[in-house]
Amino acid sequence: MNWAIKLIAHSFKFKLDQIFTYFTCFPMKIKLVLTLIIFCLVSMAFSQSAKLTKKAHLNAEKIMPKVIEWRHDIHEHPELSNLEFKTAAKVAKHLKDLGLEVEEGVAKTGVVGILVGDQSGPVIALRADMDGLPVTERVELSWASKATSIYNDKATGVMHACGHDTHVAILMGVAEVLSGLKKDLKGTVKFIFQPAEEGAPPGEEGGAKLMIKEGVMMNPKVEVAFGLHISADTPEGILTYKPGGLLAAADRFVIQVNGKQSHGSQPWASIDPIVTSAQIINGIQTIISRQTELTKEGAVITLGMINSGIRNNIIPESAEMIGTIRTLDTQMQDKIHADLIRTATKIGESMGAQVTVDIEREVPVTFNDPALTFKAANWLNRSLGPEHVQLQRAITGAEDFSFFAEKVPSFFFFIGGCPKGSDPGLAAPHHTPDFYVTDSAMITGVKALLGLTLGYMNDPLK
C-alpha cells in the first residue's frame, strides 16, 4: 500500500505525512478504490505524455531535411565570437516565422525566442551556441567553409570546428516542432541562441555570462535549463551524460617573469627570464604529477603560449607564459591555484627574477543537477531507447553552459557525431582543421531535447 500512497503524493504534490493521515481515515475497501483511481489517472497522464513525445519525434523526422539544410548553410558561413550577425539573423527570422516572441541583440548577437504553451506550466530554457573558431577547414565538403577573418592580429580561416553549427540547426528544429504542438504544451519554452561560447575577443564581454547579466534567465523566470554538445569521437545515435560535475572549470593564468637583460655572450651579467621560465615550466609539471590527488578527480595544467626575446644574441629582460587550468572539484581548483603561484614565484626567487602570477577564473564546472539528471535519464530512455543512452566519465573540456547551471537546475549532455561504420578512435579532435560530424547525428539531439522538454512539462522537479 505504501507504494500507492507515494504515487498519489507525487502525482498531486502532497506531503507524504498528509497522505498517510488521509488514508488512515478510510476503510480498506475505499483505500483500494482510491488507489486504483489514482493509478489509472497517473497511467493516463503518462500515456498522454508518451503519445505527445511520439508525435513530436515523428514531426522531427519529417523536418530533418530542413535541419540539415540549415546546418550546411551555417557551416559554410561561420562567424567568430561576438560576430555572429548572419547566423543570428537567420535564427531570428526562423523564430519569427514560427510566431514566437523574439529578442535580438542579447549579449551583442544573441537571440532569444519565447514559446508560450496553451497550458500553464514551468519555464524551460533550451540553449545552443553559435560561434565558430579561427581554424582553416581541410574537410572536403561541398559546403565547407571558405570564410576568413583576423584573429589576434593574424589572418586565419574560420570554421565550425566544434559542431556549433549542428547545435544551432538542432535547436531551430526543436523550435519548429514544439511551436506546432503549442496547444499541448504545459508551460513556456525559452530558446536561447548564445554567442561567444568559445570566449569573447580580448577586452570584450560575451557568452552565457553576459546573457545572464542582461537578464536572459528572467521575464519569464527560467525554472530549468537543458543543453547539448555533439561529440566527434562518439558513434552517432548514442547519447552520453553524467550526474554532478560533467565538464571542468577553465581558468586562464599569466606568468610574468622579469629578469635582467644582457648580451648573449655574457649570460653571467643577466638574470635570464627564458632559463627561469624553463625551470618554472618543469616545476609546474610536478603540481599535477606529484601534488594533486588524481584519484579524487582529474586535473590539467597546460602552458599554451610563451613569449620572450627579439634577437638570437640578446638575453631579454622579460618573458610571459599563458596557459589554462582544468579542474572538476572546487577544493582542488583552489589548491592548484595556490600551488601554481607558490611554484612559479619561488622558482623565480631562486633564479633572482621577479615573478607574478595572475589567474582568472573563466568558466566554472558544468554541473548536472542530480535530481534532474535522474528524471532526465528516464525521459531519454523512453525517448531514445536505453541502448542509446549511456553514462560517461567527466572530461576536462569546459563549457560556459555552466553559468546557466549556476542559476537553475540544469542538465547537459553529449550526442555522438561519428558516422556509422567509422572508427571513433580515428576521429579528428574538436578545434582542428579535419573535425567532422555527420548530418544524420542531429536527429538524436532533436529527439532528446523534445523528450526532455515534454518530460519536464509533465513531471517537473517541484
Q: What is the pLDDT of residues 304-327, one digit of tens each?
A: 999 999 999 999 999 999 999 999
> pLDDT value at position 38?
57
Domain boundaries, position 16: 2-47
Number of domains in the chain: 3
CA-to-CA separations, 315 to 269, 319, 350, in angstroms, rounded: 10, 10, 18
Same domain, 193 and 289: no
Tell me which long-range contacts 283-289 makes (C-beta under 8 A, separation of at least 24).
283/343, 283/344, 283/347, 284/340, 284/343, 284/344, 286/343, 287/336, 287/339, 287/340, 287/343, 288/336
57, part of any domain? no
Per-residue b or e along 277-305, where b marks 16 or more CB atoms closer than 10 Å to that residue's CB? bebbbebbeebbeeebeeeebbbbbebee
What tens digit of pLDDT does each residue of 268-292 get?
999 999 999 999 999 999 999 999 9
pLDDT at 202: 87
pLDDT at 28 over 80: no
How far is it, in rounded angstroms, from Cα 359 to Cα 460? 39
435 and 327 together in one domain: no
54 within domain boundaries: no
Assess whether 215 and 92 both reside in one domain.
yes
Last residue of a domain, one of 326, 344, 363: 363
SS3 294: coil
Nearest to 333 by CA among 265, 251, 407, 406: 251
The verdict on whether 406 is a catalytic residue reads no
Cα 1 → chain centroid = 43
**131 catalytically annotated:** yes
Distance, CA of 259 to CA of 266 (rounded, Å): 14
Indicate whether 25 pLDDT > 80: no
Residue 171 lies in a domain: yes
Same domain, 279 and 377: no
pTM: 0.86
Average pLDDT value over all residues in the chain: 93
> How far from the centroid of its chain's Cα atoms is residue 437's Cα?
17
Check pLDDT > 80 for residue 31. Answer: no
Do 89 and 236 reside in the same domain of the chain?
yes
- Quick check: is 59 in a domain? no
Bridge partners for 300 per DSSP: 326
pLDDT score of 419 more than 50:
yes
Cell of 388: 542509446
Query: What is the pLDDT at residue 35?
Result: 57
Position 53 in a domain = no
Residue 401 lies in a domain: yes
Q: Both 14 and 145 in a single domain?
A: no
pLDDT band at 16 (very low <50, low <70, confident <90, very high): very low
Residues 369 and 241: beta-carbon distance below 8 Å = no
Domain match, 197 and 331 both: no
pLDDT score of 5 more than 60: no
Range 181-187 average pLDDT:
98
83 with 151, same domain: the answer is yes
Task: List the catalytic residue out of 79, 84, 131, 339.
Answer: 131
Per-residue pLDDT band for 353 (boundaries 50, 70, 90) equals very high
What is the pairing mode between strands 366-368 and 299-308? unpaired
The answer to whether position 175 is within a domain reads yes
Same domain, 189 and 69: yes
% of the chain residues with pLDDT over 90:
88
CATH of the domain at 219: 3.40.630.10
DSSP 236: T
Which of 84, 129, 184, 197 is flagged as catalytic? 197
**C-alpha cell of 65?**
531535411
Is 55 a domain residue?
no
Q: Judge residue 393's burial from the number of C-beta atoms within 10 Å of its C-beta, 0-12 exposed, 13-18 middle, 19 or more buried.
A: exposed
Cα distance between residue 125 and residue 106, in whole Å:
15
CATH number, residue 309: 3.30.70.360
Question: Is the per-residue pLDDT at 43 higher than 80?
Answer: no
Same domain, 340 and 416: no
Shared-domain flag, residues 69 and 154: yes
Assess contact for 198 and 131: CB atoms under 8 A.
yes
Decide which of 330, 348, 363 is a domain's last residue: 363
Give the pLDDT confidence score for residue 3 in this predicted structure: 47
Comparing 21-35, 359-373, 375-389, the range with the smallest average pLDDT is: 21-35
Position 32 pLDDT exceeds 50: yes
Residues 204 and 307 in one domain: no
Of the three residues 335, 363, 391, the one that is the final residue of a domain is 363
Residue 209: all three cell numbers together: 555570462
